Amino acid sequence: MNFKEVRKLLKMMNVDMNEEHALHLFTMADKSESGSLEIEQFVHFYKMLTQRDEVWKVFQDYSGDGDKLMLEELENFLSIEQQEGKQSSQHAQELIDRYEPSESAKKHGAMTLDGFQIYLCSQEGSIFKPEHRDLHQDMSQPLSHYFISSSHNTYLLEDQLRGQSSLEAYIQALKRGCRCVEVDCWDGSDGEPVVYHGHTLTSKILFRDVISTLKEYAFKVSDFPVILSLENHCGVEQQTLMAQHLCHILGETLVTTLLDGQVPQQLPSPQKLKGKILLKAKKISGPEDCVDETLTDDVSDEEEMANDDAESLSTEDPPAEPLNHDGKKSKSKLSKVLSDLVVYCKSVHFHGFEHARSHAKCYDISSFSESKAKRLAKDAGTDFVRYNSRQLSRIYPGGLRTDSSNYNPQEMWNVGCQIVALNFQTAGLEMDLNDGLFGQNGCCGYVLKPSFMRDGNTQFSPEKPEEWQGYKPLRLSIQVISGQQLPKVNQKEGSIVDPLVRVEIYGVPQDQAKEETSHINNNGFNPVWNETLNFVIHAPELALVRIEVEDYDKASRNDFMGQFTLPFTCIQAGYRHIHLLSKDGTAIQPSSLFVNISISELT
């Protein structure tokens, strides 16, 4: 490979290296002085090219002889820089055993620069605490004490007007750890209920096929319960057929009776419901009193949206019968056999927090449009947090989002809403936040809410976190050191990126913040920033940190290159790598950022 070919290859690798420097490295590697590189010579050239001075400098700070880290020196690095404390001694030996490629160094209890770099680039050296990736939370608390990964219009692959309904959409959502899926059911022309976005041109799939898919894929990724959120638009006859399909296909997987036969005072736990599917739908009555009524005052999401327009903006609306689209009292006929399958997730209309405190049961679940949920969160945040400590709430995108766009879920998590349903088919910031929150705890789809959100008498308000007695703000400092093999935005030959790094904080209103580095011209291969971004986090237990890399463009909007989002509580301090993800959440190998993170109490 001659120099011209090497230069072309470098451009393909997103490297616009100074020609003089590239030629210098090429000449050093060309030991035979033939003007071209053989395989071994190119490997040598590439090693010189990828030598990381910023890692070498950190290594030198702790290495006595500059060639290796002895066990005690590695312990010092782990204790001082990585803030590991007492566990650093045992961990140092484990890291040498795991990552040091030189058998000779291993025998002497030492780590070379190669081993040090391999460790820093590993999952243990990543920004995400390894122990938080695994299932580690208490799963024995009531369902209402967890955030639950939830999908809206799960059956759609695209928009809500002409998009395709597909079983694959359910499969993909479940594979991403989703634990609450939505099924919109309508009467089928041949007697079989169908699933699609009603009164639109979206295609139709059979209800029974959806349930069969759910049966097959519900527990591939997580053993914890799946909630089937049913939007029922069928007549009584096809509702009865739906009930038959649910019972026949799901069998004992479907919860059809109370677990212990007693009227519940609190919802069962994810642990108790492992391997089970819960039906969320309208019900003729509560689980303690099934009777042969055929009318209900409960409402669907569409009817709730109509109610939002009809009701006053008061946070404590007086009890009222739900309204249909004409503003009249809604009375929907229900099949008793379908109604009887609803046990722990009975869909009810929300009459206000005061009414819920005195009348609601733990198994009552109300749905809120994003606009109503935002209003309640802002005007009565503490009441909403208390409400969500006892019963479930489901939030769904506003009716104008026909393009299947998403709202910011963080505002709903700030008040403890569990089922914050997003359009999983639409990549972007909102799904990054969802993937970030649920990337912890074994990606099981359930995340235990902070303790102050599980207390029915909590005083916590997301609008005023400083007034809460447990208020302990923290300072987050992120030194963005360098980038490694960042992805190309434009695949055209010769195009090179000008990367910058933006760090965004999502949490309570006081925590919403973003800072960014300067951009580096023409270097996506190994850009170096050495810039520090600082933040104050007022509610650390709720905050998410999103790190995004963009290609700077002074004439138009910057282009997305990659991102990584994680809960603040999952961040490892010290020298860490951030492994970037694409728009759809898949890894972009081997693209990463090298950072130094400090977390301290605010004094």
Q: Which residues are catalytic?
A: 152, 197
According to the annotation, is 467 in a ligand binding site? no
User: Annotation-wise, does 434 bind a ligand?
Assistant: no
Is 297 annotated in a binding site? The answer is: no
Q: Residue 142, preceding bond cis, omega within 30 degrees? A: no
Question: Residue 179, annotated ligand binder?
Answer: no
Tokens representing 488? 């190309």
Q: What single-letter amino acid sits at 310? A: A
Question: Is 551 marked within a binding site?
Answer: yes
Question: Does 280 appear as a known binding residue?
Answer: yes
**162 token code pair:** 């002409």
Edge-to-edge strand order for the sheet containing 544-551?
Answer: 513-516, 499-506, 544-551, 559-567, 574-581, 587-601, 474-484, 528-537
HSE, side-chain direction, 13 A CA sphere, residue 176: 29
Residue 207 in contact with residue 195, Cβ under 8 Å? Answer: yes
Dihedral sign, Cα of residue 465, residue 439, residue 370, residue 218: negative
Structure tokens at 532: 């520090």
Give the Å distances, CA to CA, from 8 to 11, 147, 589: 5, 49, 21
Question: Between the CA atoms of 69, 75, 77 and 81, what dihedral angle is there, to the nearest 10 degrees?
Answer: 170
Q: Is 97 annotated as a binding residue?
A: no
Contact 497, 561 (CB under 8 A): yes
Backbone angles phi, psi at 359, to 5 degrees: -125, -30
Instruction: Say whether 521 counts as a known binding-site residue.
Output: no
Q: At 32, which helix (H) or strand (E)?
A: none
68 is in an annotated binding site: no
C-alpha to C-alpha distance for 452 and 466, rounded to whole angstroms: 13
Q: Which of 515, 580, 511, 584 is nearest to 127 (CA)?
A: 580
Token representation of residue 471: 């208020």
Residue 81 β-bridge partners = none
* C-beta of residue 417 within 8 angstroms of C-beta of residue 395: yes
Q: Is 182 annotated as a binding residue?
A: yes
Is 388 a known ligand-binding residue?
no
Which whole-number Å values give the CA distances from 50 to 35, 47, 581, in the listed order? 21, 5, 21
Does 317 belong to an annotated binding site?
A: no
Binding residues for Ca(2+): 153, 182, 184, 231, 496, 498, 522, 551-553
Residue numbers belonging to the annotated binding site for substrate: 280, 282, 367, 394
Which positions make up the binding site? 153, 182, 184, 231, 280, 282, 367, 394, 496, 498, 522, 551-553
